[in-house]
Structure 1
């Protein structure tokens, strides 16, 4: 029943491209018919073909534009004084061969958003979204919040911002390096962001010093994105993003799979309590494991049935991204 006894599986995640075909309008062959649906470019992807000439030659260029409100100015100052942002991006740039410099612009956008621009090849981090991180923290009072007592408002702002930024950088990497993506790209770049933060951890670090805690705080933000008062219609179901609560669980599962000794107490507190009780009084547990798991599962942020698969998920997805980075994002000998 030990959570740390889960076996890591080794697998490689292969990512690919889906075509979108234009609708047949039945027009005559000699008439050029406009269409709102463009055909996808399906040229064969050659590993490393879109990579730059050498590792670290190009960089992520972070800038903070002026703000328009006091709340935005506070966010801007907080982020400017946090070296982790530039440090994470410098570390990533050193390990890959960007084909060009990539601007990361913190700015006013006129909407609450963060996005990669395929046309401009840059990332926009909107102050309107970032100020919302503070607001969501202030409004949150539930069992989820209780699991994050170690994190204050600044920590939630930093973690949510860092995770969303790396998520958008993931979109940029898919575009710049022509990465083959199968399945939902939004999920793949969540995995990318989580993997980068886990890779930045140092052995023996306490939770408060681990870069991966920023992914946990990103999960905290996504859990708050419950569709309260949202009209459930075709547009709602057609959203390319997985729903917030599901994204939160997926991220926490990857953290559990990579470092259960660090994250079990937060992610699966019911299981941790059950382990402790089992060590002291095994006679009450043996033969009744399923019953006790069911009794304590409501205490877990991730259900025990999912936690038991998290090590395999982490091995699979991290292996896939390692393969993509080594094969498509670094120069290849041809």
Structure 2
């Protein structure tokens, strides 16, 4: 659960409305270039077809997602809600659009933007709804603006991106990267429930892996490796911003791993997907070497596990055999499962 709004919430609401407008307009053109911000992924058609395999014509497509924007009771959130609705922001989340129509689901998933009374996001199984709260968007902007003016921005987005981006650019990218991760995370919960997918261990950890994997998959086709890494590091920063230094029994008993643990898990999956390309994560100290040695195997297992779980549920036009799926992953450079080093 995110922290509550700060005293500067009124100013932040106005600024957030501008940021959402900038995001929506930029994504509609598949780039933020008109706003001087780093490029963002375009919204592709579902690419989950093995190379050389054409979708079968005339076969039924999967149900589409539904998107709803509820007017907030609080006047303070009215401007933000209007911007989100007018820009149709939920429909423009790249990972959500990629999944929309990719799978055969027994029921349609509805994405809802609404006032929740607190900064949050969640999946409602009884309604099949993924809820993204206006208050959460407000907090994301506040944290993004704080990061943009701090000395930490270079270590989070990389020195090149930090040098070329204004504080407003960084705040925009922070909001957008985290909305993408959070929506993907909650979609993971929805898929587990609707498709009755088997999960061992904490479901929260599994859907963090899903969100990381799908952001890498989408970003890998439409963003540079540096942009993919920056987006996932910004999502990881969200965990750090919510982390406490002193934990109660409730925190240890929570269904979520601690914020710091989620941060390092995300760094591990990113590093493990391509240790050479993302060696800087270890070099900067964002991931201890003692954990990094396990990450290639961990990332490979997570990617393959989600592929195996979802493959039987692909819409007929995107169906593939297990061998075709393995070849598709290989050609895309997805991390392959490797032997795990000995563990105590």
Using the size of structure 2 for normalisation, the TM-score is: 0.63
Q: Distance in 2 between matches of 1:169 and 1:237?
A: 25
Q: Name the count of aligned residue pairs.
A: 246
Q: Deviations over 1:11-45 (max 9, x none)?
A: xxxxxxxxxxxxxxxxxxxxxxxxxxxxxxxxxxx
Q: 1:117 to 1:188 in 2, by over 3 A?
A: same
**Residue 123 of structure 1: CA displacement?**
0.9
Q: Does 1:166 align with 2:184?
A: yes
**Residue 102 of structure 1: CA displacement?**
1.1
Bigger RCO (CA 8 Å, 6+ sep): 1
Q: Does 1:145 align with 2:145?
A: no
Q: Deviations over 1:58-111 (max 9, x none)?
A: 122223333445567347636837688344223213321122221100110112
Counterpart in 2 of 1:66? 71
Q: 1:243 to 1:72 in 2, by over 3 A?
A: farther
Q: Distance in 2 between matches of 1:85 and 1:243?
A: 30
Using the size of structure 1 for normalisation, the TM-score is: 0.65
Task: Give ranges in structure 1 of 5+ residues lacking alignment.
Answer: 1-53, 271-298
Q: Distance in 2 between matches of 1:222 and 1:170?
A: 18
Which structure has the highest helix share of the two?
2
Counterpart in 1 of 2:29? none
Counterpart in 1 of 2:83? 77
Task: Give ranges in structure 2 of 5+ residues lacking alignment.
Answer: 1-58, 163-169, 320-344
Counterpart in 1 of 2:31? none
- The 5-angstrom pairing of residues 240-251 of structure 1 reads 240-251=255-266
- The 5-angstrom pairing of residues 272-291 of structure 1 reads none
Counterpart in 1 of 2:339? none
Q: Distance in 2 between matches of 1:83 and 1:126?
A: 12
- The 5-angstrom pairing of residues 1-334 of structure 1 reads 56-67=61-72, 68=74, 73-74=79-80, 77=83, 80=87, 85-140=92-147, 144-149=152-157, 150=161, 152-202=170-220, 205-207=223-225, 210=228, 213-228=230-245, 232-265=247-280, 267-268=281-282, 270=283, 299-327=284-312
Contact 1:65 1:107 in 2 (8 A): yes
**RMSD of aligned Cα (Å):** 2.9
Q: Deviations over 1:142-168 (max 9, x none)?
A: 665331353600100011111111101
Q: 1:260 to 1:142 in 2, by over 3 A?
A: farther
Bigger radius of gyration, 1 or 2? 1
Deviates more, 1:163-172 or 1:300-309: 300-309
SS in 1 for 2:123: strand
Q: 1:85 to 1:261 in 2, by over 3 A?
A: farther
Q: Distance in 2 between matches of 1:76 and 1:66?
A: 8
Deviates more, 1:193-202 or 1:75-84: 75-84
**Residue 206 of structure 1: CA displacement?**
2.2
